[in-house]
């Protein structure tokens, strides 16, 4: 009988998910780049609004990704490989394939972990803590108004490349996720980073992405929350 073992993937790692697309990533770490202009829904210029609209309109997404986690107690990054699936209806699914098989599902009901044998465990959250799952979905959906309520947003552009930085407005959310940075080119996300400083950060780089996909019934059962 296979033992039920789910290692506690951190919410920041989950975010690793999030939204990304491969090799054209901007190589600099978030702290190596000066802050960009402030982005406010009430005053944002048309070019930034058009970018958020284009990202939000991509529909369901499938991506493969590499996730790297740096911790102060380890000299080298921990590297994971996996597949990301996101839909407006079913939420986010991070299916890790290396170094072991495990799936994390983030949706309106919260965070669910599923091991290779199909056993599940809901991640309990402190009701006093910020809702990391909700915040994750806002970022994945590039909901500018919702994100502005949670973060100060700054952006930079260079040719076709862009960078968005999200700094939490509340101390509780800042402790939970640190600073969130999203890099992209044109209307595609290339890299995501969650940073609590130079010795504790999570970086996600995507190798391949398809947008506007339709998940089959088998995929919905295997990678998202199952109907009860």
Task: Give 148-158 pLDDT, tens digit per residue.
Answer: 998 999 999 88
Q: What is the CATH number of the domain that holds 215?
A: 2.50.20.10
pTM as predicted? 0.77
Residue 47 domain flag:
yes
Q: Which domain holds residue 57?
A: 11-223
Residue 186 domain flag:
yes
Residue 87 domain flag:
yes
Residue 55 domain flag:
yes
Return the higher-pLDDT residue of 100 and 126. Answer: 100
Specify the number of domains making up the chain. 1
Where would I find the beta strands (DSSP E) of the chain? 37-39, 61-70, 78-87, 91-98, 102-107, 110-115, 120-122, 151-158, 161-168, 179-185, 188-195, 201-211
Q: How confident is the model at residue 34 (pLDDT cuts 50, 70, 90)?
A: low
Task: Give 140-199 pLDDT, tens digit per residue.
Answer: 788 899 899 989 999 998 888 999 999 988 887 787 777 889 998 888 888 888 887 667
Percent of the chain with pLDDT over 90: 39
Residue 6 domain flag:
no
Please give the pLDDT value at position 187: 81
Please give the pLDDT value at position 77: 85
Residue 3 domain flag:
no
Which position has the token pair 């690793």? 16
Task: Give 67-97 pLDDT, tens digit per residue.
Answer: 998 887 777 888 999 999 999 899 999 999 9
Residue 48 domain flag:
yes
Alpha helices in the chain (DSSP H): 11-15, 46-56, 132-140, 144-150, 171-177, 217-223
Residue 32 domain flag:
yes
């Amino acid at each position: 009988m296979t033992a039920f073992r789910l290692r506690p993937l951190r919410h920041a790692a989950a975010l690793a998910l999030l939204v990304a697309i491969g090799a054209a990533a901007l190589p600099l770490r978030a702290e190596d780049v000066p802050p960009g202009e402030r982005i406010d829904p009430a005053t944002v210029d048309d070019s930034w609004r058009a970018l958020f609209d284009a990202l939000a309109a991509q529909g369901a997404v499938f991506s493969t990704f590499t996730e790297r986690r740096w911790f102060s107690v380890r000299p080298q990054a921990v590297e994971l490989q996996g597949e990301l699936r996101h839909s407006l209806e079913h939420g986010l699914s991070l299916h890790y394939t290396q170094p072991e098989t495990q799936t994390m599902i983030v949706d309106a009901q919260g965070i669910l972990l599923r091991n290779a044998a199909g056993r599940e465990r809901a991640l309990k959250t402190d009701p006093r803590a910020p809702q990391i799952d909700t915040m994750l979905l806002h970022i994945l959906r590039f909901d500018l108004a919702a994100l502005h309520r949670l973060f100060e947003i700054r952006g930079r552009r260079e040719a076709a490349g862009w960078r968005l930085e999200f700094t939490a407005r509340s101390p509780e959310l800042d402790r939970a996720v640190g600073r969130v940075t999203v890099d992209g080119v044109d209307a595609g996300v290339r890299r995501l980073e969650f940073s609590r400083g130079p010795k504790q950060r999570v970086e996600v780089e995507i190798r391949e992405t398809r947008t506007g996909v339709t998940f089959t019934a088998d995929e919905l059962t295997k990678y998202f929350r199952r109907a009860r």
